[in-house]
Structure 1
Amino acid sequence: MAIMTKKPGKSAQWGAVWQLIKPYWRSEEKWRAWGMLTTIIILSLAGVYLSVQFNEWNRVFYDALQNRNYPVFKAQLFKFTWLALLFIVIAVYRVYLTQGLQMSWRRWMTEEYMEKWLTNHAYYYTEYQHQVDNPDQRISDDLNSLTSGTLSLVLGLLSSVVTLFSFVFILWSISGPLSFAIASHEFTIPGYMVWFAILYAAVGSAIIWSVGKPLVRLGFNQEWFEANFRFGLIRIRENSDAIALYHGEKNEHDQLTGKFDSIKTNWWSIMRVTRRLNIATNFYAQFANIFPILVASPRYFSGAIQLGALMQISSAFGQVQDALSWFINAFDNLASWKATVNRLAGFNAAIDQVNAQPRGIKVSQNAEHALKLDNLTLNLPDGSPLFCNVSAAMKPGERVLVAGPSGCGKSTLLRAIAGIWPYGAGNVSLAEGKRYLFLPQRSYIPIGTLRDALSYPDTDREYTDEQLQRVLEQCRLPHLAKTEVLDDYANWSQRLSPGEQQRLSFARALLIKPDTLFLDEATSAMDEETEHRVYSLLLSELPETSVISVAHRSTVAKYHQHCWQFKNQENGPCGFTASAILAE
């Protein structure tokens, strides 16, 4: 996980938004997805139809009250009962199906994005180049917000459009014309309540947009600050031992305080904008309750319409006004959704950019050598050369030591061999159809049972307890070679010391038995006697395995047959020589 030093605040274009949304609806699950969406839309239309029925019910019911017509009053109560029950059933299953569609969409997108992120080492390049901040949040939170927000906004807009067209004709027909005179000129506005509703919603929408527009940017920043603060807390948990030894609590506290101050400052900005937005939206909503009655009351008091018609006008006006006010009602959700889209669009673009980058180093296979380098040049990301035009080869079963001063590119060489270092030129050729295993200085140990951690990355291969216990005992980890410990679920990178972690990685190598083993300072946390033990195990247990070791200790040389030596040169890249190591 990386923390960006520069805030990514670009707004995604609508074309990029469509690129995020459309894949699921064209995927192998499209028929199921469109079927669920169609059912939800039908239920939404049925809900609008019932709203029209309720509107007509208002007129008949209140006319019955005004005329003291008890039989009609009783009949309308019965009609209301079955309308309400039907409305409840439709509302419940519309929400139920929407939630199901949301989870199906989220599951599909999560699988796609995980595949995209983990393919071609995109996760490594985006992290190394600091192109994406907090990718875990993008996949876990933002995909959830995208799917739920998109469905909510689209279905809400559809419902509003259908409601508008359904009720605008009702409001037009029942509101009648409005006649008035100005300077002896007579004016008549047909369906005047419709025009008042449009004007009311237009003015309100313009005010809400001008007041609430900053929330899009502030919401984006808030997620960014929250993720950085959360990352700081995780870093303390992951490095608790080192921080405690350094007594770095004050420094960590100051850093966390600084990160939280950013959260607090941005939150106060959100509060100020939200306060103004709430003033505008609440005034708009409250005044909307009385506005249609005020506008229609002259016709009621003149006797042109009865109480039922007045209530029907008020209800129809409310429906039209709500439909026209979709933007106002959905503004908060729309602002959050747009911030989510901006983050996902940036994440998507970063992965596409990484995958489109040319790979200067070609990795191929051969049938003769365990490893062959042909005119290999490695550069730093800024283009500075580490070393140039290196050619070397190791045969199956050979053991090679890579030595040289720090910063000359020894570890980078292993990254290039693994196919994850794109900066440079030349060719790397590996033995065809063989198994490779890389043991870095800080071995990766996944959270889970010890048996899973020991056999990683062979999660699909079963090893017996006897095999696991044997390699643990061979690598001087007898306290872990117990059945109950093998099944213990824990964060082993926290429970084991650096030396124990490196011994565990050697036990992993003995278990997996790779054809070629790459060691990058893999014994740096061990004492010399333990180092001698694990290297001797490699010679005795894996005699046919090719080994290439990066190490600074001269004591490692005796376990190898050849040495690839890098040397610093003035004003230029490192020099390279290959030589045999004489047996003692």
Structure 2
Amino acid sequence: MKKMDESVRFVKNVWALTKSYWQSEEKKKAYLLLLAIIALTLGVVFMLVQLNQWYNIFYSALQNYEKEKIFSELFHFSWLAFIYIILAVYAFYLQQVLIINWRRWLTNEYIDEWLNHKTYYRLQMFGTATDNPDQRISEDVRMFVEYTLRFGIGILKAFTTFASFVVILYNLSGPLQFKLAGMDIHIPGYLVWTALLYSMIGTWLTYKVGNKLVGLNFVQQKYEADFRFAMMRMRENAESVAFYSGEGHEGSVFKKRFTLLLNNFWNIIKKQKQLTWLNSWYSQIAIIFPLVVAMPRYLAKEITLGGLMQISSAFGRVQESLSYFVDMYSSIAEWQAVVERLTGFGLHMKQVKQENAQQDLQRRPGATDAITATDMDVTLPDEAAVLQNVSFTLEPGTNVLIKGVSGSGKSTLLRALAGIWPYVKGTLEIPAENKLMFIPQRPYLPLGTLKESLLYPGTETRTDEELKQLMEDCCIGYLYDKLYMEADWSHVLSVGEQQRLAFVRALIYKPVWLFLDEASSALDEETEAKVYTLLMEEAQQTTLVSVGHRSTLNKYHQKVLYLDKETHSLYWQEQASL
């Protein structure tokens, strides 16, 4: 019963993942391609029937030494094979076209779902049940599309092949007559029942031997992704590892994850070895099995050599169609694992979105550009309090410096204002998102040219001369000649250089509110003074909200908002009282 429930759940999951594309704006093109593939597949089966009939005619001619008939049938075979090849090639080609279109559409859907409402961030920070979303989108989507279409077309071909050849085999096999316990036994079309019994035994044995492959393949993909992620993470933090001389620790982490991967892979190999033994015996016996069971009729001269060869071919086709599960079991196991991972990924994205929709923070636009929080509670995922029942207003034109001991929740407060921290209650009146800009301690620099990094996220444009002047003003002008160089700038530039580029970005966008989370911590005091002064002169409509510990920041802010870690509260300090 449990296995039945799992099978039903699997079919439902496949349908849930499949139907979105076939109900999308591309459905007409998709259905036309699918109909063409089905038509070509049926054509391939029809040609197999023609080739099966050819066996009888050709081998009978060989048996009777009919020279003209032999050469005539060889010519006949040539054009039958030619048509078969054309149908098979275009069936494969159109199937690949459909796979590309489907994968492109589904990948775009998952990317949009992952990026919308900052789901990627919430999964990373709070979605412990999802690992390696990049692999889900890049690898699992590809495998799902390929396997689903391959198995769908494969089942169609197996069914039509069975339906076409079972009649031929039934008519060719004739009745099996024998005595058992004094009774005359008469079994019409006995080769059909023989093929059915043979395939059922093979299918049952395959299932018993390989049913653990589903779980093993599921875990293997996770271990593979974890191993790749560990090495990728070291590459991204290569300098820090080098400073710490942490190669030994990193190596032990790599080897530990690789050992888990190998141990599981060995278990897969053992199961696949058992399946290979079974499939090899099964397929080799299937070659001679129809000849053995049909041999009595041939020796009794009830059928010709051509008839015997046609029976062997028809039996092979029937047995092959009935044994589709046997031949594809290993791939089906991988398919099931892929479906489980994609279904789980989609479910986890939906859960974090629901959690965000159900959060108790009422976020709404205010009548002015002021930011007002009322009765706000901010907690950690374990419900530990960060801020309790706090209310405050940030007025436009009044720069605010947020202070507090380490761990008091300064950065968490900024995340709550940005709308990316889900554990918030209360009311928040805040301007539209396009009026806000947040700069973290280590700014994000995307892959691409330096100019693309400066203009990120790309909603503003500037001429090269304008960028050159801004870069000079922010003490980073020496990088101007690299404006169109493509690189991973987060690894090429120091943190201080990255922070100066972030100030260039702020001067480009000039938001109404600019939140700086220790955004000048890697700058010397002289450069910090220069970029802050530049902001106040060139972006006079921008109000600054800074998180920082340096006393040098005081003069650029009119007020200080102090977070008390002990009482989970906050209060204002006037600059004059500092």
**Gap change, CA 1:12 and 1:455, over 3 Å in 2:** farther
Deviation at 1:323, TM superposition (A): 0.3
Displacement of 1:16 in angstroms is 2.4
- 2:46 maps to a residue whose letter is Y
Moved over 4 A (4+): 9-12
Q: 1:220 aligns with which of 218, 221, 245?
A: 218
TM-score by length of 1: 0.95
Q: SS of the counterpart of 1:202?
A: helix
CA distance in structure 1 between the aligned counterparts of 2:9 and 2:304, rounded to whole angstroms: 53
Deviation, structure 1 residue 353: 0.7
Q: Hey, what's the Cα distance between the residues in 2 that align with 1:17 and 1:562?
A: 57
Q: 1:106: how far off? A: 0.4
1:95 to 88, 92, 97: 92
Q: Which runs of 5+ in 1 are unaligned?
A: 1-8
Q: How does 1:233-252 map to 2 (within 5 A)?
A: 233-252=231-250
CA distance in 2, matches of 1:554, 1:27: 58
Match of 1:468 in 2: 467
SS of equivalent to 1:304: coil
Match of 1:450 in 2: 450
SS in 2 for 1:373: strand
Q: What is the alpha-carbon distance in structure 2 between the residues aligned to residue 309 and residue 10 of structure 1?
A: 41
**Residue 363 of structure 1 contacts residue 417 of structure 1 at CA under 8 Å; is this kept in 2?**
no
Contact 2:165/2:314 (8 A) holds in 1: yes
Q: Secondary structure at the match of 1:389?
A: strand
Give the 3 Å change call, closer, same or farther, for CA 434–346 of structure 1 in structure 2.
closer
Q: What secondary structure, in the 3-state scheme, does the structure 2 residue paired with 1:386 have? A: strand
Q: Does 1:278 align with 2:290?
A: no
* Equivalent in the alignment of 1:81: 78
What residue number does 1:210 align with? 208
Cross-structure match for 1:578: 572
Q: Which moved more, 1:18-27 or 1:523-532?
A: 523-532
Task: Name the CA distance, whole Å, in 2 between partners of 1:64 and 1:431.
Answer: 89
Q: Secondary structure at the match of 1:431?
A: coil
SS of 1:514 mapped into structure 2: coil
Structure-1 residue corresponding to 2:385:
385
Residue 369 of structure 1: CA displacement?
3.4
Whether the 8 Å CA contact 1:11–1:342 is kept in 2: the answer is: no
Aligned residue among 300, 303, 306 for 2:304: 306
Q: Report Cα offsets for 1:534-567 as digits up to 9, x if no partner.
A: 1111111112201111112222121101111111
AA in 2 matched with 1:239 = N
How far off its partner does 1:299 sit? 0.7
Query: Counterpart of 2:407?
Result: 407
C-alpha contact 2:130 2:345 (8 A) present in aligned 1: yes
- Equivalents in 1 of 2:520, 2:428: separation in Å? 26
Deviation at 1:90, TM superposition (A): 0.4
How far apart in 2 are the matches of 1:544 and 1:436?
A: 12
Structure 2 partner of 1:62: 59
Counterparts in 2 of 1:308-347, with a 5 A limit? Answer: 308-347=306-345
Is 1:490 aligned with 2:484?
no
Partner of 1:440: 440
Report the Cα distance in structure 2 between the residues aligned to 1:414 and 1:175, rounded to whole angstroms. Answer: 80
Deviations 1:254-292 (A, max 9, x none): 110001001111111111111111000000000100000
Work out whether residues 296 and 310 of structure 1, in 8 Å CA contact, stay in contact via their aligned partners in 2.
Answer: yes
Say if 1:433 and 1:19 are closer, same or farther in 2 by CA, change over 3 A. closer
* Matched ranges for 1:364-383 at <5 A: 364-383=364-383
- The answer as to whether partners of 1:368 and 1:395 remain within 8 angstroms in 2 is no
Aligned residue in 1 for 2:3 = none
SS in 2 for 1:518: strand
Alpha-carbon displacement from aligned partner over 1:383-411 (angstroms, at most 9, x marks no partner): 12111121111222220111111112111
Separation in 1, partners of 2:511, 2:332: 53
Structure 2 CA distance for aligned equivalents of residues 510 and 394 of structure 1: 21
**Using the alignment, how far apart are the partners of 1:392 and 1:561 within structure 2?**
15
Q: Deviations over 1:306-354 (max 9, x none)?
A: 1111011000000000000000111121111111111101100000111
SS of the aligned residue for 1:582 comes to helix
Aligned-residue RMSD, C-alpha: 1.6
Counterpart of 2:396, as a letter, is: P
Distance (Å, rounded) in 2 between the aligned partners of 1:425 and 1:271 = 52
Residue 133 of structure 1 and its aligned partner are, at CA, apart by: 0.4
Aligned to 1:144: 142
SS in 1 for 2:430: strand
Question: Is the CA contact (8 Å cut-off) linking 1:435 and 1:516 kept in structure 2?
Answer: yes
Residues 115-146 of structure 1, C-alpha deviations (whole Å, 9 max, x = no match): 11101111111111123100000000000000
Alpha-carbon contact 2:460-2:508 (below 8 Å) kept? no
The SS at the match of 1:330 is helix
Q: Is contact 1:367-1:432 (8 Å) kept?
A: no
Q: For residue 473 of structure 1, report the CA deviation from its aligned partner.
A: 1.1
Amino acid in the other structure paired with 2:421? W
**Percentage of matched positions with identical amino acids:** 43
> Which of 19, 32, 40 is equivalent to 1:43?
40
Q: Which moved more, 1:25-34 or 1:180-189?
A: 180-189
Structure 1: how far apart are the matches of 2:408 and 2:9? 41
What is the Cα deviation at residue 568 of structure 1? 2.5
Alignment-derived partner of residue 117 in structure 2: 120
Structure 2 Cα separation of the partners of residues 535 and 131 of structure 1: 42
Aligned residues: 570
CA distance in 2, matches of 1:362, 1:39: 53
Q: Does 1:426 align with 2:426?
A: yes
State the one-letter code of the partner of 2:274: R
Match of 2:152 among 128, 139, 154: 154
In structure 2, how many angstroms separate the alpha carbons of the residues matched to 1:490 and 1:297? 72
1:45-103 deviation per Cα after TM superposition (whole angstroms, max 9, x unaligned): 00000000011100011111111112222221121111110001001100100000000
Kept in 2, the 8 Å contact 1:362–1:428? The answer is: yes
**Partner-residue secondary structure (3-state), 1:122:** helix
CA contact (8 A) 2:516 2:547 kept: yes
- Matching of residue 34 in structure 1 with residue 28 in structure 2: no
Q: Is the 8 A contact 2:42 2:160 kept in 1?
A: yes
Q: Give the counterpart letter for 2:462 in structure 1.
A: Y
Distance 1:583 1:471, change over 3 A: farther
Deviation at 1:362, TM superposition (A): 2.1
Q: Which runs of 5+ in 2 are unaligned?
A: 1-5
Aligned 8 A contact 2:389 2:569 in 1: no
Q: 1-side partners of 2:323 and 2:202: how far apart?
A: 8
Is residue 15 from structure 1 mapped to residue 12 from structure 2 by the alignment?
yes
